Homo-oligomer: A and B are copies of this chain.
Amino acid sequence: MTSLLDFKLRRAQLLVHQDFAGALAKLKLRPAEFSVLAMIAKYPGQKQTTIADKLGIKRANFVFLMDGIEARGLAVRHKDKSDRRSHSLYLTEEGVNFVERMVALWQDHENRIVATLGGPENRDQLLHLLDRLLSFGNEEGESDAAGS
């Protein structure tokens, strides 16, 4: 054989994901919920489909993800006034506090991963390579999920 990039990618992703999920478990939060809250925090007032698209989540599946978040009082859906079909998403006051705590947990996780990788230079190198892979299907510059 040879490298089997696919399998190494999958297993590495799984390990990182499990560490991330384990960290978020302290807040009874799953990674998908983390990403939704982070996205609303970054783009408050966006409608559901826009947020779902940015995260690569089908709008049908987004609904009950958002149901849970709203039921916990972390974010709310507002009927958009100019287009009453749309729901604009906002963090609640409690949601803002929650996001702060969840980001701290994420930071701990990130530090563990960076240490495993052997330093921030290696993290940047990995991110660079992943960006190249992400330009595979879509040559447009749409993707987000990472920030500045």
A residues contacting B by CB (< 8 A) are 1-13, 15-20, 31, 35, 38, 42, 56, 103, 109-110, 113, 116-118, 122-123, 125-127, 129-137, 143, 145-148
Q: How many copies of this chain are found per oligomer? A: 2
A125 CB contact (under 8 Å) in B13, B17, B35, B129: B129
Interface of A: prevailing SS? helix
Complex contacts, A9 vs chain B, CB 8 Å: 9, 12-13, 16-17, 130
A147 touches which of B1, B18, B35, B127 (Cβ 8 Å): B1
New contact pairs (13) apart from A8-B134, A9-B9, A118-B132, CB-CB < 8 Å: A1-B146, A2-B110, A4-B147, A6-B13, A6-B20, A6-B31, A8-B130, A9-B12, A11-B143, A15-B137, A113-B133, A116-B132, A116-B136
